[in-house]
Amino acid sequence: MPAADRNPRRPASGHVVGIDVGGTKIAAGVVDTATGDVLERRLVATRKERGGPAVLADCAALAAEVAGGELPVGIGLCELVDLEGRPASGDTVDWRMLDVAGAFGGAAVTLEADVRAAALAEARFGAGAGVSPFLFAIVGTGASACLVVDGVPYRGARGEALVLGAPPVERVAAGPALARAAGVGHAEEVLADPARTELVERAASELGRVLAVLVNALDPALVVLGGGLGSAPAYCERVARACRSLQEYPRTPPLAVVPSSLGPAGGLIGAALSAAVRGS
């Protein structure tokens, strides 16, 4: 199967198409990789039930719409991505048997795991800028984490250093799990309902416990939470309390656990940066 990374190159302008492929939404835009500015942006529903080929076709159409196929493309995918830039899992969006690069009509394409892409953006332009090491966790449709050292997301021996917990904590603490527990359609409904505070506390406490294991083992200077659920203040604050309560050697001042400062654009900015870094 062809790798997604086909000798990507950074254009002189520094403009790259970034595409953030999540379980719920696909965000695409043209990013100035020198500043992190998003010059054009489009957002569509993933509709993952249609299958990987349909989602990939949507990504290619978005890239053509925002840049006319003339710029390199960086993609952050909500799956495992190996060290060669190939999709290595298909739990949500299965591209393992597809020619990802070929779908973009000859443009240089770089594929990266969404959590590492977003972590790279956070290290360059967000809450993690100038901080090392820091732990980045993305909590939305799924949940995964990445250690960032000197601005570089750690990838592991096979590109799999992102699974958060054993068993994965996303089964109880990510958006769909929280919505299922409450019997509603979206996690935002649960966060907004005072009657469901106990459910939110339970999910946040479990996520905080898993993050505390990493904090105790890795000693990060900062923890940053991204994703639609992770960066929601009501959730992030509860996770922070749970994580700090289980820190074996508490600090003065306490360990900072903060939401991403880049918001929803962080994933597509990081995807573009991943392409620029590979091509430099």
pLDDT tens sequence across 34-59: 999 999 899 999 999 999 999 999 99
Say how far apart CA 240 and CA 17 lie, in whole Å: 34
Average pLDDT (104-127) is: 96
* Backbone CA torsion sign across 261, 267, 270, 272: negative
* Relative orientation angle of helices 197-218 and 233-245, to the nearest 10 degrees: 50
Flag whether pLDDT at 12 surpasses 60.
Answer: no
> 272: alpha, beta or left, given left = phi > 0 and alpha = psi -120 to 50?
alpha
Same fold flag, 15-117+265-279 and 127-261: yes
Strands, sheet with 109-113, edge to edge from the N-terminal-most edge strand = 37-45, 25-32, 15-21, 73-77, 109-113
- Sorted by where each begins, the domain ranges of the chain are 15-117+265-279, 127-261
Average pLDDT (256-274) is: 96
Which residue blocks in the chain are alpha helix, DSSP H? 52-67, 114-125, 170-173, 175-182, 187-191, 197-218, 233-245, 266-279
* Element spanning 88, H or E: none
Phi/psi at 231 (5° precision): -90, 0
CATH of the structural domain 127-261, one choice from 3.10.129.10, 3.30.420.40, 3.20.20.140, 3.40.50.2300: 3.30.420.40
Average pLDDT (261-279) is: 93
pLDDT the model gives residue 199: 95
Give the CATH H-level superfamily of domain 15-117+265-279.
ATPase, nucleotide binding domain (3.30.420.40)
pLDDT tens sequence across 80-93: 999 999 999 999 99
Flag whether pLDDT at 247 surpasses 80.
Answer: yes
User: In the chain, pLDDT over 90 holds for what percent of residues?
Assistant: 91
Q: What angle do CA 125, 128, 129 make, to 5 degrees?
A: 50
> What average pLDDT does the structure give for the chain?
93
Flag whether pLDDT at 276 surpasses 80.
Answer: yes
pLDDT tens sequence across 16-33: 999 999 999 999 999 999
Average pLDDT (205-234) is: 97
Six token digits for residue 161: 């250093």
pLDDT the model gives residue 143: 96
SS3 for 113-165 is: EHHHHHHHHHHHHCCCCCCCCEEEEEECCCEEEEEEECCEECCCCCCCCCECC
What DSSP letter does each residue of 199-224 carry, written as one string?
Answer: HHHHHHHHHHHHHHHHHHHH--SEEE
pTM of the model: 0.93
Flag whether pLDDT at 4 surpasses 60.
Answer: no
Phi/psi at 240 (5° precision): -60, -45
Average pLDDT (155-175) is: 96
Amino acid identity of residue 77, one-letter, is L
